[in-house]
Chains A and B, each alone.
Chain A
Amino acid sequence: MNIDSIQNGFVIDHIQAGKGMDLYHFLELDKLDMPVAMIMGAFSRKTGKKDIIKIDGEVDINIDAIGYVDPGATVTIIKNGQIVEKRKIEEPEILTDVIYCKNPRCITSTEQEIRHVFRLTDKSRHEYRCIYCDARG
């Protein structure tokens, strides 16, 4: 894989230095059947250091999940060697099936086929709460 010339795929850039591996595991990129490159501690004009992840292949990546782990990141979508979209990530207001409620007293622990939904309740503290039981995510 030539990490500079992705034909079809994604570049997740401006990841806070040190968070690249967290994001890699959170997105379960290790389970993808395609080349994934991790660049750690790359030079950043803004922050000094940053991490970058490049995914060489077409796959559904969960933008909300990236926003949850690192709202400062950006995602660039590449098709046929061209940048088709550059997206600034924001902290999502609602997370659906990105994180899971661990409260054993929560209805999500027994109700069948329920989606785990969290709402951003405090932006300054990056705090999400389960919409059912109010437990912190």
Chain B
Amino acid sequence: MANLINILDLSVEEIDRLMDLADDIMADPEKYNESCKHKILATLFFEPSTRTRLSFESAMLSLGGEVLGFSEAASSSSAKGESVADTITVVSGYSDIIAMRHPKEGAPVIGAEHALVPIINAGDGGHYHPTQTLADLLTIRHELGRMSGLKIGVCGDLKFGRTVHSLIEAMSRYDDNEFYLISPEELKLPGFVKNEYIIDKNIPYKETGSLEDCIGELDILYMTRVQRERFFNEEDYLRLRDCFILTEEKMKDAREDMIVMHPLPRVNEIQTAVDKDKRACYFKQTVYGKYMRMALILKLLEVEV
């Protein structure tokens, strides 16, 4: 593993080992706090994403390393028309590892072709965001203690929600999982994801438009945002949005040990009243994300502690 572009670049074993490492870091962070001393992480954000950038920077700083970079294209040379290839070539001379985010799909592939150091895809348009998926996976394993035999509900925008696609791809590789695809008709899971990762693998699944109908069966409820711009008219949007909002009321029907996840930022699809419920894991998810990024940086830099 020299780069991480897509979550499927990692085998199940590699992901499991990364999670073991993240667990070890969590258990004893001090052991790792100088493990990347004198190493530099470049965070090249050709489009802004403050949360993701801060998570990477916090991860590197917690390993005793240094960070440099830019947080939007306007402050980088790409604003003057420099190609991704040239920017990456130059920056790989200044750093030991690069996390890059870019609005265009596939930009990190160019990064990987030109960099002399490992590249981590920190999001390329609506395409891939593998460190989000790593955060999701660690959340599941840590909170539920297992990766298989789970009833996984994904709710909201399943059509455009890339985090949902990656989560399904990743969880379909573990045994005995089942999927509940909960969305309005207009935002159903695209055929190519459903065919390749669910139907072709004979994984049981249910498609439904009602969260209430199935919430009681779930081990995991993964919420996503239903965005206004996906709808032609306001009426449809408002009608549907409310069906896919998680409320305290709906949580009453959920199991005691179910976990609620969300890739954040949340807008209104989870009532803030749910935040204090012990089953709400979406803020913990960001913490797990930092530890997974730490594990990934160590792995890509081949640092042994």
- Smallest CB–CB gap between A22 and chain B, Å? 26
Judge whether A107 and B126 touch: CB under 8 Å: no
Which residues of chain A have C-beta atoms less than 8 A from B110's C-beta? 107, 111, 114, 132
Q: In A2-60, which residues have CB < 8 Å from any B CB? A: none
Q: Which of B102, B106, B127 has the most CB of A within 10 A?
A: B106
- Residue A110 at the chain B interface, CB threshold 8 Å: yes
CB-CB under 8 A from B124, the residues of chain A are 107
Contact B105 A106 (CB under 8 A): yes
Residues of chain A in range 96-137 having any CB-CB distance to chain B below 8 Å: 103, 105-114, 130-134
Q: How far is the CA of A132 from the CA of B105 in the complex (A)?
A: 7
B210 within 8 A of A: no
Smallest distance from the beta carbon of B176 to chain A beta carbons, Å?
27
Please give, as numbers and ranges, the residues of chain B lying within 8 Å of A131 by CB-CB distance. Answer: 106, 109
User: With an 8 A cutoff between CB atoms, is B125 at the interface?
Assistant: yes
Bound Cα distance A109, B126 (Å): 15
* Complex alpha-carbon distance, A46 and B133, angstroms: 51
Is there contact, CB below 8 Å, between A134 and B85? Answer: no
Mark each residue of chain B from 95 to 114: 1 if its CB lies under 8 Å from any CB of chain A, else 0.
00000001111110110000
How near does chain A come to B24, taking the closest CB pair, in angstroms? 34
Q: Which residues of A contact B106 (CB under 8 A)?
A: 106-108, 130-134
The answer to whether A109 and B109 touch across the interface, beta carbons within 8 angstroms, is no
The residue from A105, A112, A113 contacting B125, defined by CB atoms under 8 A apart: A105
**Least CB distance, B268 to chain A, in whole angstroms:** 27
B84 at the interface (CB under 8 A from A): yes
Residues in A neighbouring B84, C-beta threshold 8 A: 107, 111
- B77 contacts A by Cβ under 8 Å: no
Residue of A nearest to B78 (CB): A110
Chain B residue numbers with a CB within 8 Å of A105 are: 103-105, 125-127
Interface positions of A from 75 to 96, Cβ below 8 Å from B: none
Answer whether A133 and B127 are a contact pair too, CB < 8 Å, given A108-B106, A111-B110, A114-B110. yes
B residues less than 8 Å from A133 (CB atoms)? 104-106, 127
Q: Is the interface of A mostly helix, strand, loop or mixed?
A: loop
CA distance A31 to B216 in the complex (A): 66
A112–B84 CA distance with the chains assembled, in angstroms: 9
Q: Complex formed: what's the CA distance from A111 to B125 in Å?
A: 15
Q: How far is the CA of A105 from the CA of B85 in the complex (A)?
A: 17
When chains A and B are docked, how far (Å) is the Cα of A103 from the Cα of B102? 16
Partner of B104, one of A106, A112, A113: A106
Report the bound CA distance from A28 to B104 in whole Å: 31
Cβ distance B196 to chain A, nearest Cβ, rounded Å: 10
Q: Is B49 an interface residue (CB 8 A)?
A: no
Q: Is the CB of B105 within 8 A of A103?
A: yes
B102 — nearest CB in chain A belongs to which residue? Answer: A107
B272 at the A interface (CB under 8 A): no
Complex Cα distance A108/B124, Å? 13
User: CA–CA, A106 to B102, complex, Å?
Assistant: 11
Nearest-neighbour CB distance to chain A for B143, whole angstroms, equals: 31
CB interface residues, B 118-145, toward A, < 8 Å: 124-127
- Which B residues lie within 8 Å of A114 (CB)? 85, 110
- Nearest chain A residue, comparing its CB with the CB of B109: A132
Question: Per-residue 0/1 for B165-189: is the Cβ within 8 Å of any A Cβ (1 yes, 0 no)?
Answer: 0000000000000000000000000
Cα distance A112–B78 in the bound complex, in angstroms: 12
B83 at the A/B interface (Cβ < 8 Å)?
yes
Complex Cα distance, B87 from A112, in Å, reads: 12
Distance to closest chain A CB from B126 (angstroms): 7
Q: Nearest chain B CB to A107's CB is how many angstroms away?
A: 4
- The residues of A that contact B105 with a CB separation of less than 8 Å are 103, 105-107, 132-134
Chain B residues with CB under 8 Å of chain A are: 83-85, 102-107, 109-110, 124-127
Could you pull out 11 A-B pairs where Cβ atoms are within 8 angstroms?
A: A105-B104, A106-B106, A107-B84, A107-B107, A111-B83, A114-B85, A114-B110, A132-B105, A132-B109, A134-B105, A134-B106
